[in-house]
Structure 1
Amino acid sequence: MIRRAATYALIAAFSFATTPSFACTGISLNAKDGAMIRGRTMEFGFPLSSNVIVIPAGTAMNGTLPDGKKGIGYITRYAMAGANAVGQTVILDGLND
């Protein structure tokens, strides 16, 4: 009996000892014609100051290595559009054609 009470107390303690999280909410809409639209919110808890970025197909790009050095170069096969955040020149969330 004491062991069961201790287990419940431990579960309760862990349940209340949570930290707040900044999570995105997924949304899925199903149309009558069978089409599906998916999206998500971007709840970061601070202003992202996002801008729209459009990258045409055939654009020369370079990756960046973890140490900040220039990575592999490539040419984009598809056009991309998306949103950046905090003034960065990378697409945080977007789509391609």
Structure 2
Amino acid sequence: MTIADARPTTRLLNDELTSIATMLASRFPDLTRATVENAVRTTYDRLDTTARVRGHLIPLTSNRARVELDRLLAEHGIDDDLESVSAEIRRALPPMAGRSW
């Protein structure tokens, strides 16, 4: 879900969330814009549903979405590392008859 596809919001809120997504997209160039926007929107929605005071939702959204994207990027890095280690192990092992990989 992108920011524009989400439930109706005020123009100011939409502009704020778009600004956060733009800032985070430049900070995380390896992630797609849709991934960044989804993180921002879901973070905001999650905070908004439980908020009693809404004055700090925008800074909280920015911070928590950044943390979520850091975590997501770290997971991608781990997946890439595991893939390269797996390839190195396959190259290092002697050929075996019937090996499926």
Instruction: Give TM-score scaled by structure 2 length.
Output: 0.29
* Structure with the higher fraction of residues in strand conformation: 1
Larger-Rg structure: 1
The structure, 1 or 2, with the larger RCO (C-alpha pairs under 8 Å, 6+ apart) is 2
